[in-house]
A and B are shown apart, each in its own frame.
Chain A
Amino acid sequence: MTPTTLFDKIWQRHEVADGLIYIDLHLVHEVTSPQAFDGLRLANRKVRRPDRTLATADHNVPTDDTPVARMIRDELSRKQVEKLEANCREFGVPLYSLGSDRRGIVHVIGPELGVTQPGMTIVCGDSHTSTHGAFGALAFGIGTSEVEHVLATQTLVQKRPKTMRINYTGQLPEGVGAKDMILATIGRLGTGGMTGHVVEYAGEAVRALSMEGRMTMCNMTIEGGGRAGMIAPDETTFAYVEGKPGAPTGADWDAAVASWSELRTDEGATFDEEVEIDASSLSPMITWGTTPGMVTEVASVVPDPDSVDGPVEPETAKRALSYMALEPGIPMTEIALDRVFIGSCTNSRIEDLRAAADFVSGRKVADSVRAMVVPGSEQVRKQAEEEGLDRVFRDAGFEWRASGCSMCLGMNPDILIEGERCASTSNRNFEGRQGKGGRTHLVSPQMAAAAAVEGHFVDIRGWKERS
């Protein structure tokens, strides 16, 4: 038998016809679905498999505990969430909307409900669907026309993407995590470096990551231009899925684990591209520009646009620095902050919150900083509150909010004011992403937490002992 990749195994298993793949799980949210449901209505079509579809409201829900959709103050947001509720009712799609304790960011609730499982094909009208690849699933974002296609047919027209493997050798140093791994990778390959590829993350440093860490890496594959990121499932994966509401049980569980255990790249299988990265040489990372590829090490300085490491054009770098109001040569740790945001589908899971809380425990947020934690889901929030993490954050001066996308994209009232500078655990530092004129630096939860305390970036290696 010819050796095949993890991707090939899943792809082959899902081919319904040439160029047509079956979709096991379709996640739906309020922003990219209304036009798709309208399309179904116009053509008099049904949702083929409501039992393989799951909807939630996340992108523009307020994080102030608004209990029901009709009480959302912003009129357009309210209409969009109400439309989602009406559509789900009409088409029989299960929905966790405002008031449900299972509501949350779509890429957080899929895994925590156990509906995200190894070997699946998973799509959602959201680019960060790549997150679910952490389970050894083939998961990617689609547009609204494709959402309609999947609702109607449970399949998707797709050409076979190219494959890439990034192998991380060695072990991560202290203070360096999954967020730094993926930021460093995008910095090296560029924001278009993975375009057209499904990327498998492999190697010792990846195997050592928790599911949360793996999700962080796969999540940001899209920022590298990749179609999907994936990590072969193992004991860590199975332990995470087991017992979740959507997971198989009894004999089905055993059968599932047996088949999931075969989901890995065979020795000798070939990829269109292979990259090797020495994990032991990585540092905590901070973005300095307006794409996630404009990134550098914490101990470094704001780069000179003419000599940026990695594939960034001098003109683009200049523009970015002017938007970010940064001068070349300034140490990254001297950049002062107005805001800190811990949240988003990249870093808002329980482990992220624990890690951040560990850094703020017993300390205070700097006077100059407004800091905020937005858990990824209502379940994460509940768990964190049971563990007392909300108290740790609140005592330090953080705001503790209800779950949602929040300031990751600022569709709800959580936004940056023009000129404000923010350390954010999210995934996009585009111009205006967190609010018009806002300046975003992407970092890990620990880096964000320490920066909140100091009022500027700090090298977290050894920081807790020092301060």
Chain B
Amino acid sequence: MDPVEVVEGDVSVLDRADVDTDQIIPKQFLKRIERTGFGEFLFYDWIRDGEIELEPNPILVAGANFGSGSSREHAVWAIADFGFKAVIAPSFSDIFYANSTKNGLLAVIVPPEHCRGIAAAGRARIDLDDQTVDYEGGVVRFEIEEDVKHRLLGGHDEISITLQDAEAIDAYEAAHPMLGRPTTAI
């Protein structure tokens, strides 16, 4: 994962609430077994039907509860592959938010009035270290967990970080034997 510090540039606007992952990347594209190449299928039905137009700007602004529905990480891969580096919305589904952080896509939560302001301004600058979004007409602070921020800034791989705790995992397993049969023996 590449480190992320600042995302700056033009804003694409998707003025809808509850944008679900079935819309972001329809199921017919989930059959691919690679992580790449999903961008061209982003919002496939909506774009193909002429319902929305989207420029591959660095920033996407959307309505509340963005990324609801299925856990498919393909949604994040598609958004990133399309060219977005950050999504700004009043709220995100939990799984989409977590998936974003594993792929260096910034998911930034700011109140609806600022989302509207950013959409109107058409340009914004997100500073992860400062936790601020700057746009013509305002500046707003956003919250992000310290660990997650640190990992994004450093571009660190989460599995490597966890494996530094391998002894703790060994110790846990030794202290908690499993009841019931192993899945390999049923």
Contact = CB atoms under 8 A, between A and B. Distances in A.
B27 A255 contact: no
A32 B30 CA distance: 8
Contacts of B73: 32, 35, 125, 143-145
Interface residues on B, range: 35 or more
Interface stretch (B79-87, B92-100, B116-124, B129-137): B92-100
A371 B68 CA distance: 29
Contacts of A114: 180, 186
Given A50-B184, A145-B102, A191-B18, A255 B179 contact: yes
A425 B45 CA distance: 24
A127 B75 CA distance: 13
Contact of A431 (B22, B70, B168, B169): B22
A177 interface: no
A143 B35 contact: no
A195 B182 contact: no
Contacts of B102: 143, 145-146
A127 B64 contact: no
Interface string B1-36: 000000000000000111010110011101111110
Interface string B60-91: 00001100111111101000000000000001
A70 interface: no
Contacts of A76: 31-32
- Which of A77, A192, A316 gathers the greatest number of chain B CB atoms within 10 Å? A192
Nearest to B101: A145
A42 to B, nearest CB: 11
A64 B16 CA distance: 38
Contact of A192 (B28, B64, B172): B64
Interface in A415-434: 428, 430-433
A212 interface: no
A79 to B, nearest CB: 6
Contact of A16 (B18, B23, B32, B168): B168
B128 to A, nearest CB: 18
Contacts of A60: 31
Contacts of A125: 71, 73
Nearest to B32: A76
Interface in B143-186: 145, 147, 158-159, 162-163, 165-166, 168-169, 172-173, 176, 178-186
Secondary structure of the A contact surface, majority rule: loop
Contacts of B172: 16, 22
A316 B168 contact: no
Interface string A11-24: 00100110110101
A246 interface: yes
Contacts of B95: 127, 141-143
B33 A153 contact: no
Nearest to B35: A35
A148 interface: yes
Nearest to A228: B94
A227 B32 contact: no
A316 B63 CA distance: 11
Nearest to B15: A315
B183 A141 contact: no
Interface in A224-264: 225, 227, 245-248, 252, 255-256
B159 A43 contact: yes
A22 B180 contact: no
Nearest to B181: A246
Interface in A37-57: 38, 43, 45, 48, 50-54
B18 A291 contact: yes
B34 A20 contact: no
Given A196-B94, A428-B22, A410 B27 contact: yes
B159 A153 contact: yes
A313 B72 contact: no
B57 interface: no
A157 interface: yes
Given A246-B183, A433-B22, A159 B145 contact: yes
Contacts of B34: 34-35, 38
B71 A45 contact: no
Nearest to A153: B162
Contacts of A143: 71-73, 76, 95, 98-99, 102
B68 A34 contact: no
A192 B98 contact: no
Contacts of A149: 158-159, 162
A277 interface: no
Contacts of B91: 192, 195
Contact of A432 (B26, B30, B32): B26
Contacts of A245: 181, 186
- Which of B20, B35, B179 gathers the greatest number of chain A CB atoms within 10 Å? B179
B105 to A, nearest CB: 11
A117 B72 contact: no
A290 B185 CA distance: 43
Nearest to A149: B159
- Which of B70, B179, B180 gathers the greatest number of chain A CB atoms within 10 Å? B180
A16 B165 contact: yes
Contacts of A350: none
Contacts of B147: 19, 157
User: Nearest 3 pairs between A and B by C-beta?
Assistant: A51-B182, A145-B102, A76-B31
Given A19-B147, A146-B102, A153-B166, 14 more contacts: A16-B165, A32-B73, A59-B30, A74-B31, A126-B71, A141-B95, A143-B72, A145-B99, A191-B68, A192-B64, A225-B65, A255-B179, A316-B17, A431-B22
7 contacts: A32-B71, A38-B35, A145-B158, A195-B91, A225-B68, A409-B27, A432-B22
